[in-house]
Structure 1
Amino acid sequence: MRRIIAYLVRFAVILIGYAVASLAASAFLNVLFLGYFGYALEPGHPTIAPALYFSVPFLALFVAYFGFMPAAVVILIAEVLGRRDWLFYALGGAAIAVVFLGFAHNVGDGDFDVTDNNVRLALVGCGMVGGIFYWLSAGRSAGSWRREPLPDPEP
């Protein structure tokens, strides 16, 4: 019974880590585009902060939706292999972004394709930031369910 609870706790930690990674990637993408379009993040500017309060969680929904399946594969590999280094997760996040870019290119809809190299690099950078934040929240204890035996107490 203890092992099942350990699995459920680990699954909850993975889901929370994925939500944190999606929010971090979304925030990074928002800040990149604000800088690209010339808006400075000034402390006294009255419209930037409320716009970010809405756009970061809203864009995080799309980040989480489009990155779910490749991220599930990377997370599964990390859990099975017990990878706990930040570089694995940063490169995994970049791979997730590249898979999304390939998906967007092969959909066949010209409006969905990402053609600008600056945007492609921004998306890969967002994947890397998301991977690092996943490592900060959940990746540092990857594979812990395999290394620590939790025997059931004998009656």
Structure 2
Amino acid sequence: MSALLRILILDPIAFILACAAAGGAIAVAILIQEPGTPSQSVAVSVVFFGIAYATALFAAWFAFVPALVAIALAEAFRWRSVFYWLAVGGGIGLAGYVANDQMATPTFDDERVLYYLGAGFVGGLAYWLVAGRVAGAGIPPLFGNEPDNEP
């Protein structure tokens, strides 16, 4: 696959899947935490997908610009490490927590910060699994004559 097609097709698909994974992680965390969750499987499924859809939309809206910058840096410098994507996802999740609590002073002693961090980590891992492992493949190096280590 050429580098341009990979960037134009695979990266947006990976971003959408990462946002869906982050929304699913938040939905699972909320449904596990709530003591009064209905026992009917249809009701649980409707609530799960409603929460996952809403949080995935929020994640996509909030994380678009930071993720675009992180993707551009990873493509330009060939950063393929899973730790890079976990750090990016965790950072975006933490920024989402702070932005969500912008009316009040954010306190990092409640469990909601773990929801946001966990969702960011899951989203970063999902992006790495789909597109982050091949970041920069087929693109000439920016600096020097580095050997191209294709996966």
Pair 1:114–1:65, CA change in 2 (3 A) = farther
> Which residue of the other structure, out of 110, 133, 145, is the alignment partner of 2:138?
145
TM-score, length of structure 1 as denominator length: 0.77
Identity level (%): 28
Unaligned runs of 5+ in 2: 142-151
Please state how far the C-alpha of 1:100 moved relative to its aligned partner: 2.6
The residue that corresponds to 2:33 in the other structure is 36
> Which residue of the other structure, out of 11, 20, 23, is the alignment partner of 1:14?
11
Q: Which moved more, 1:5-14 or 1:73-82?
A: 5-14
| Higher relative contact order, chain-length normalized (CA < 8 Å, sep 6+) | 1
SS of residue matched to 1:48 = helix
Deviation string 1:130-150 (CA, Å, 9 cap, x unpaired) is 0000001111110013159xx
Give the RMSD, CA atoms, in angstroms: 2.6
Pair 1:145–1:59, CA change in 2 (3 A) = same
Once the two structures are superposed, the pairs formed by residues 55-134 of structure 1 within 5 Å of their partners are: 55-105=51-101, 107=102, 109-110=103-104, 115=107, 117-134=110-127
TM-score, length of structure 2 as denominator length: 0.79
How many equivalent pairs are there? Answer: 140
User: Is the Cα contact below 8 Å between 2:74 and 2:135 reproduced in 1?
Assistant: yes
Deviation string 1:59-83 (CA, Å, 9 cap, x unpaired) is 2111110111111122122111111
User: Is the Cα contact below 8 Å between 2:80 and 2:133 reproduced in 1?
Assistant: yes
The one-letter code matched in structure 1 to 2:118 is G
Please state how far the C-alpha of 1:6 moved relative to its aligned partner: 3.6
